[in-house]
A and B are shown apart, each in its own frame.
Chain A
Amino acid sequence: MSSDKPCEKGNGRRGFCKACIGAMTAASTAMVGYPVVSFVISQPSRIGEDKPLEVPIDQLTLGQARYEQWRGLQVIILATADGPMVFSASCPHLGCAVGWDTADSVFRCPCHGAVFTAQGEVVSGPVSDSLKQIPFEIKDGKIIITA
């Protein structure tokens, strides 16, 4: 029966058991904690951000816009009669995301009503700068944005 008595100052069997439980707790915390934390801090917009953005031209429809995310930027690819155009969706006024209005063939900003042509030039609204164009190249039937 003597072994059932609590030992002095955490030594002996009880201390050993406590140390084992502590180590196991620490190990399981790490085992659960690492996947959970790395899962939670992943950001969709940052995943694959070092890769160039590639969009096959045959997926575009004339007169319509396609929205993409690239390096944390919202990008609009517009298929015009003179070929594709690529813009940053960020409005040059205060940075809201502009959208393509297919019916009127203009870009509209939802925040303060700026309107831009299909070439990105200002039609009306509280802005003086055009929409920012993003350079791209066409290779193998794909639009490739690297810079």
Chain B
Amino acid sequence: MRLFQAIYGWFDRRYQVTPLIEKNVTHKRVPRTLGWAACFGGLSLLIFLVQVFTGMLLLMYYKPDPANAWDSVTFIKSNVSMGWLVQRIHTVSANLMIVMVLMHMARIAYYKVYRSPRELHWVSGVVLLMLTLVLAFTGYLLPWTQLSYWGAKVGTEIPGAIPVIGRDIVQWMRRGEAISGETLGFFFALHIWIIPATISAFMGMHFAMIRRTGISRPL
């Protein structure tokens, strides 16, 4: 404890972290009327961070090509020490993240706190919801199971109903006519880099806006 305090003190004297923590965390005041429903935004963020972390771990063994994808996931689940746990946390949390985001959205809608000056919180929030769904959808293909294959097949078929450009969109998403190794590579890129980076940027905006306007108190 002494040692910890000495080390912390050394950094604190130079970087003044304690006042920052006090201002933003321990002494931060929030309206008394905020209830437990105000936790869901924070929980969405927490689960996202869990996903980033467990995702990095899975990436140590996952192989994104049709010949090896399924084997590598099976290998993680049955051979890697604690692999079953890490894999399960990542899958279950993917679903939980969607639930949390929807609960968060429900609270915002119920208390009508999307109204001026918070319209853009809602707009950035809708983008976050979309990105969360794309994250889950692209991740679903990666284990390359029958379910993954048909999930991706049916999911990418949907824009085909759009007149004129529909077929082109389907082909663009699949990187060709059918679900193939190209699709897997593309979804992999989206899932581990492109969407997480974009979602982080939008979360940053979302939080900055909330800091700007302050959180609203339910009437």
A38: chain B residues at CB < 8 Å are 81-82
Report yes or no: A39 in contact with B75, Cβ–Cβ below 8 A: no
Report yes or no: B81 in contact with A42, Cβ–Cβ below 8 A: yes
Report yes or no: A39 in contact with B79, Cβ–Cβ below 8 A: no
Q: Of B61, B79, B81, which one neighbours A48 at CB under 8 angstroms?
A: B79
A39: chain B residues at CB < 8 Å are 57, 60, 80-83, 86
Report yes or no: B57 in contact with A44, Cβ–Cβ below 8 A: no
Closest chain A residue to B57, Cβ basis: A39
Closest Cβ of chain A to B140, distance in Å, is 22
Please encode chain B, from 76 to 91, with 1 for each CB lying within 8 Å of some chain A CB and 0 for all others. 0001111101100000
The CA of A35 and the CA of B80, in the complex, are separated in Å by 11
Closest chain A residue to B60, Cβ basis: A40
Please encode chain A, from 29 to 44, with 1 for each CB lying within 8 Å of some chain B CB and 0 for all others. 0000011101111101
Report yes or no: B85 in contact with A47, Cβ–Cβ below 8 A: no
B79: chain A residues at CB < 8 Å are 42, 44, 47-48
B83: chain A residues at CB < 8 Å are 39, 42
Closest Cβ of chain B to A96, distance in Å, is 23
Report yes or no: B85 in contact with A35, Cβ–Cβ below 8 A: yes
With A36-B57, A39-B57 known to touch, is A44 a contact of B75 (CB < 8 Å)?
A: yes
List residues of A (18-57) whose CB comes within 8 Å of B's CBs: 22, 34-36, 38-42, 44, 47-48
Closest Cβ of chain A to B201, distance in Å, is 27
Please encode chain B, from 44 to 74, with 1 for each CB lying within 8 Å of some chain A CB and 0 for all others. 0000000000000100110000000000000
The CA of A41 and the CA of B57, in the complex, are separated in Å by 11
Closest Cβ of chain B to A117, distance in Å, is 30
The CA of A48 and the CA of B85, in the complex, are separated in Å by 19
The CA of A48 and the CA of B83, in the complex, are separated in Å by 15
B85: chain A residues at CB < 8 Å are 35
| 7 interchain residue pairs of minimum CB distance | A35-B82, A38-B81, A42-B81, A42-B80, A39-B82, A47-B79, A38-B82
Chain A interfacial positions (CB closer than 8 Å to B): 22, 34-36, 38-42, 44, 47-48
- Other A-B contacts than A39-B83, A47-B79, 20 sampled, CB-CB below 8 A, are A22-B1, A34-B82, A35-B82, A35-B85, A35-B86, A36-B57, A38-B81, A38-B82, A39-B60, A39-B82, A39-B86, A41-B81, A42-B79, A42-B80, A42-B81, A42-B83, A44-B61, A44-B75, A44-B79, A47-B80
